[in-house]
Amino acid sequence: MKKLIIVTGGAGFIGSGIIWKLNKLGEKNILVVDEINNIKWKNLLGLEFVDYVEKDDFLNNLISGKYDKFEIDTIFHMGACSSTIYPDARHYIKNNYEYTKILCEYAVNRNIRFIYASSAATYGDGTHGFSDDEDELENLRPLNMYGYSKHLFDLWAKHNGLLTKIVGLKYFNVFGPNEYHKADMRSFVIKAYEQIMSDGKVKLFKSYREEYADGEQLRDFIYIKDALNMTMFFYTNRNLVGIYNIGTGEPHSFNQLVKAVFESLGKKPNIEYIEMPKEIKDQYQYYTKAEMKKLFSCGYNIPITDFYLAVSEYVNKYLSKNKYLADYNE
């Protein structure tokens, strides 16, 4: 019996990228789980997998024992409600916490490799740093319910002794092809590109802290191809367990990002600073920087793409041509 790999959120941004990488490794016996929509399905074009199932049906099938007959090798659990402003807190609990608990217990009880997406949103405003040291988990204070739902599972896994058996990945600000369906949760690279193409300028939030000038708020932006390389490192190195940051360790400002997009398009920067909406003022992160020594100490040594080269490639190779990861055989 061929081993089966399950990717939840498989039609999404990172999930579809994982399938793309698995295909390059010759893996095609993949079950894709997601909640499809009229844009997201395009991420699956050109990818090879054996079946697709909606997330609620998948969970029912899992609980009923339908998948017990398969030799499941790995579950990549990337599926979640990733909006930071969804109005129903219980939705986060059901989708991001309880769903993950069920999958995790299923995997651990059957000795299935379980790799799940946590989030840099668990770090909150960064007061307690950005270390992926599991001893620091209880000190973190997420700023929104999305971050808290991810943090809640990290804590549950730790308190139940499961971080010695599974892998949690705290993704920072990932950008790149296949994020087109994410609406307001898309990276600012694509938002800047669209604003430039439609209005010739980009709007950035003003700063409300004296130590940050307008547009100088900092983020650890990571290109999707680097995030995928790091993710697949845990697929091929199965002895690694615990929580790890997926970032670069080198933050850039929104001003730098926007100017890089303008430069990629051969245009002069034109930036307007606007007021920040009230609903996000109290949960806005002014600074993120992934501590990466834990991952690097495990032997990860693939060079991280230069920030400006990554932005340029995304703009010129994908956005301007409306292309997806699977459109190129590379």
H-helix or E-strand containing 34?
A: strand 30-34
Would residue 116 show up in a list of annotated catalytic residues for this protein? no
d(CA 16, CA 35): 13
d(CA 264, CA 269): 11
Which among 250, 227, 230, 268 has a CA at the least distance from the CA of 308?
250
Q: Which of the following is catalytic: 28, 42, 165, 182?
A: 182
66: left (phi over 0), alpha (psi -120 to 50) or beta: alpha
3-state secondary structure of 243: strand
Q: Which of the following is catalytic: 92, 116, 146, 171?
A: 146
Identify the sign of the CA torsion 288, 7, 75, 238.
negative
Question: The tokens 């009880």 sit on which residue?
Answer: 109
CB 265 within 8 A of CB 315: yes
d(CA 102, CA 106): 6
Would residue 182 show up in a list of annotated catalytic residues for this protein? yes
Residues 6+ apart with CB under 8 A from 4: 29, 30, 31, 50, 67, 70, 71, 72, 73
Question: For residue 90, how many other CB atoms are within 10 A of its CB?
Answer: 9
Range 58-61 contact pairs with CB under 8 angstroms and sequence separation of 24 or more:
58/8, 58/31, 58/33, 59/99, 59/102
d(CA 9, CA 25): 20
3-state secondary structure of 117: strand
- Which positions are annotated as active-site residues? 146, 182
